[in-house]
Amino acid sequence: MASEWCIGIIGGSGLYAIDGLEDEQWIAIETPWGEPSDDILCGTIGGVKVRFLPRHGRGHPISPTELNSRANIDALKRAGCTDILAISAVGSLREEIDPGRFAVVEQFIDNTRKRENTFFGSGFVTHVSMADPVCPRLSDMAAKAVSKAEGKVATGATYLAMEGPQFSTRAESRMYRAWGADVIGMTAMPEAKLAREAELPYALVGMVTDYDCWRDGEAVDVAEVIAQMEANGELARAMVANVIDALPKKRKPSPIDTALDDAVITAPDEHDPDMMAKLDAVAGRLLRDL
């Protein structure tokens, strides 16, 4: 297992760049799943390898439903990432999680419907566990990094992933609250599932831009969302810097590094060579042992 950190940063709405990157260069990475959202910005911060991918592309041309999350995760794996810290704009479903606060996500409810959500299929069937979908080590570092940057942070949040690109109806928003969701967004699924399939420890920090429309007489206003996203961006960049600064010198193995070990169910004599060829990055460690 890798003993050296290589941190993948997925920047969501409001985070289109990171500070302090040295020896930076944009690198195009081809994947068997199509084109990722953008080239990957590669460099180092304090000697730590960093790979930055703007989730919606530079200039935000890609809608949530049209994101190619398989290509994004595959590209980050090919770029050498050992762990992924994802940042995403979210709406709040709880009074106490107010706009401007950051929410470190612990659980997900996937209510998306139109997205390719797995690298695997017929000829190489796997079932990875998503019971605990984020990396506790990286999530804890992210929460501490927000506090160090003097930001407000909520931990243990449940994220409702909706399809979009429209915002919720008021009835939907209230239903999501009844389901136990704390924040709502359009991009973390299937991203988190695919990261687990690629054996990449994943943490998600939601930047709260607004209250979703569950409150009487209020609706999501895009202008207000954008203004809050811009305000959140500076804190997000400081958080990223603090996470990287706090990384231990050596990366200890994570159980997520071997998430596929007990996940494959297809018998060896039924393996599809074409599918396995596409999995050379995301499942390369496993395939080498078969």
CA atoms of 19 and 238, how far apart (whole Å): 8
**3-class SS of residue 151:** coil
Catalytic residue among 39, 83, 110, 210: 210
CA atoms of 224 and 227, how far apart (whole Å): 5
81, 75 Cβ separation under 8 angstroms: no
* Residue 274 annotated among the catalytic residues of the structure: no
* Residue 210 annotated among the catalytic residues of the structure: yes
Q: What is the 3-state secondary structure (H, E, C) of the chain?
A: CCCCCEEEEEECCCCCCCCCCEEEEEECCCECCECCCCCEEEEEECCEEEEEEECCCCCCCCCHHHCCHHHHHHHHHHCCCCEEEEEEEEEECCCCCCCCCEEEEEEEEEECCCCCCCCCECCECECCCCCCCCCHHHHHHHHHHHHHCCCCEEEEEEEEEECCCCCCCHHHHHHHHHHCCCEEECCHHHHHHHHHHCCCCEEEEEEEEEECCCCCCCCCCHHHHHHHHHHHHHHHHHHHHHHHHHCCCCCCCCHHHHCCCCCECCCHHHCCHHHHHHCCCCCHHHHHHC
My answer on whether omega of the bond before 255 falls inside 30° of 0, hence cis, is no
CA atoms of 152 and 142, how far apart (whole Å): 12
Catalytic residue among 212, 216, 257, 289: 212
Active site residues: 210, 212
